[in-house]
Chains A and B, each alone.
Chain A
Amino acid sequence: MARFVERAENLARILEVHETYARDKRGGRDWYTIVQLNADEEIFAEKYQSVSAKNVLHFYLADRENPTSIFSAVKSARENGRALRPLISTEMWVQLNVFYNRLAEIGDRELTPGALSPLLNEIKQACQTFTGIAEGTFYRDQASYFYRLGRYLERGDQTTRLLDSKYYVLMHDTDVTNMVNTGQWLALLRAASGYHAFRLLHQNDLTPWRIASFLLFNPSFPRSVFLCVREVDSALTALKSRYNLRGGNDVAEGLDQLRSILGTRSIDEVLTGGLHEFIDFVQRYLMAITDRLGAAFFGHPPVERAAWQHEELWPPLVPASPGGLQIQSQA
């Protein structure tokens, strides 16, 4: 439930920023990057003839058959909510219901330029309202901690996706005077609601690596990967200590390790090793955590992910830099 709401919110953020700010030199917008970002090229191509703004927006906002659309995410959140109804507050359930009904009535007219931005804002606010209601009404029992776990796992994952979506632009142009790309970087920060927080930290230094570092490692930014992992860790610790849950030791260990990587690795090291590779590593790590949480607490069968899982408990650590291991051995 928490994960679906986070997912819907993040998608609304990406679409809104794309609609409004993420323009190229001529002021154009390439909508296909969003399809690529979500790795939906195949199912998109099956359903739509062309990559127009209208099609992409329909696909991600209102398409009932697309499992990654905002509609589907909120529908799933509501279905989860129905199943969890005895555990969650009435207000949470009502919000999911109202939200779902609102999305069900989205017409084509709301997907037109000018109407879209208010709609996406409304969706973002509905998600934030849900999160606020949960914070204010959800009885702090086991269920609420699992809710927090899910929310922050998803949020961290979504931030890596956001960063990955622009990494090509970010990494292949270091010309800071180039306003087009500055616009893209600002768009990235705005998508994460990090623009003003970032400006507070770096008044005069809007470089891609600073932005990447901010979104990955900043300890105070509510959507940074580091903060999200820390929150997942604290929710898990609470579950284990307050409710004496015995499972999840392996997850706790994994979280410790991920936290320490995020807490100590410098952005320079990440860049030398490849930002995309690092993001990929974090995403696989978060996936492994999800799988293991499922196995530890809900008896989910182990998920086939990738070859590394059969031999290793966690994804192989990406080296900080190509020469990183050698430096270690010398030390």
Chain B
Amino acid sequence: MDEIQSLLHGFGVALTLKNLLLMFTGIILGVIIGVLPGLGGANGVAILLPLTFSMAQQPGGATSAIILLSCIYWGALFGGAITSILFNIPGEPWSVATTFDGYPLAQQGRAGSALTAAFTSSFVGALVAVIVITFLSPIVANFALAFGPPEFFAVYLLTFCAFIGTSKEPPFKTLASMMLGFALAAVGTDPVTGTLRLTFGFTRLLTGFDFLVAVIGLFGIGEILLTLEEGLAFKGASAKLNMKVVLETWKELPKYWLTSVRSSVVGCFMGIVPGGATPASFMSYGVARRFSRDGDAFGTGKIEGVVAPETAAHAAGTAALLPMITLGVPGSPTAAVLLGGLMIWGLQPGPLLFVEQKDFVWGLIASMYLGNIAGLIVVLTCVPLFAAILRVPFSVIAPIIMVVCAIGAYTIHNSIFDVWMMVVFGIAGYLFKKLQYPLAPMVLAIVLGDATEASFRQAMLVSQGDMSIFFSKPLVGSLTSLALLLLFWPLISAAIGRLRRG
């Protein structure tokens, strides 16, 4: 049981006064970010990433920095549920499914129970995922130590093909948006030969596009523009959360243990295979409705209908960090931003992290346990406070969010040009969202573009241009086959559907 020992060591790293303080700061900031329109997990973390630059320089600072940022992420995951239940506005895409039963509950005056159920199941989902991370990630990392360029390319291929196979958006739009991400990643210096590419003579483009700027623009500015269309006012139910309601709901929750287990499994799976928290929450809601005894009553205000999507979303959001720390392949946009942070702090994400940066990795994993406990405490005690933020008029909160986004974009490289790019990405984000071009594959492509290309070219060098290298060994062969299966899944499932009907 090496993991237990490493984990205990990790708790030693994470449990300092400074780190605990950062944990609570992160959670509170994260919940605020999750509650506010236009700020979400991914761009919230991206905006606050520059804050950690000087912090990460100190010894042990990288651990503190990742604790702060990952806690912002947990906070945002918790925060999404507040707006869904009280205001019927999903603060985050993964809490859309929570509105189905959460908002009716609030209208019936049971907002307290709905919130307690949501927070508790978020916590349970996260806990299951952290346990999975604790025991599975050392194995995956150890396994991945033997990976060469072909294996890494196959993993990247699998990541991107999974988007096409699992996303609800039209496959060609997913493909277009993903390839645009690759094209943006290719701008600047070629990672292998150092040749300048796609700069068209603009010196500004020599360093390429930073995906953090893209994240802030696409998810931040784009989201605010979308919110504006819906009008400027939020109307919501009020929330009173006292110990009595909490305890009563907790007494009711064990009834739904089977739903929790199912949702955690769905969530962990969707998080590790890059599907992400959003599809996981919908899938888990659908599964719960099908299997529940009173599935027909879903949508009218059932606690079970809150438990299912929240457990899955939080499990997926947490599990998305597993491929990030073990392989250097993030499972979600927020995990991608955290990965970007790691690289900026000078840590090389991937299997070697478990060998060379034990303190960092196990400190992070231990902080996941602590951060989620801290998160549960914060949200259960401070709901009215966070709900009050949404009552601040939009004409005050919108410009402040814009300013925060601009500061975030500027501070990444101290460049005004990045602020302009943020506005451009914002317009793109608005158009893409409205026309159903998914943003997540684009962001992941910008992050992983160079690494994907480098691993492909290295593999080609090894094989002297022979593509069969991607099928040369059982491991790389099965990864590639799985990737191709997912890539053509839309076609395959259409064919199966036609066969059944015909």
Asked if A and B are interacting partners, one says: no
- Chain A residues within 8 Å of B, Cβ to Cβ: none
- Chain B residues within 8 Å of A, Cβ to Cβ: none
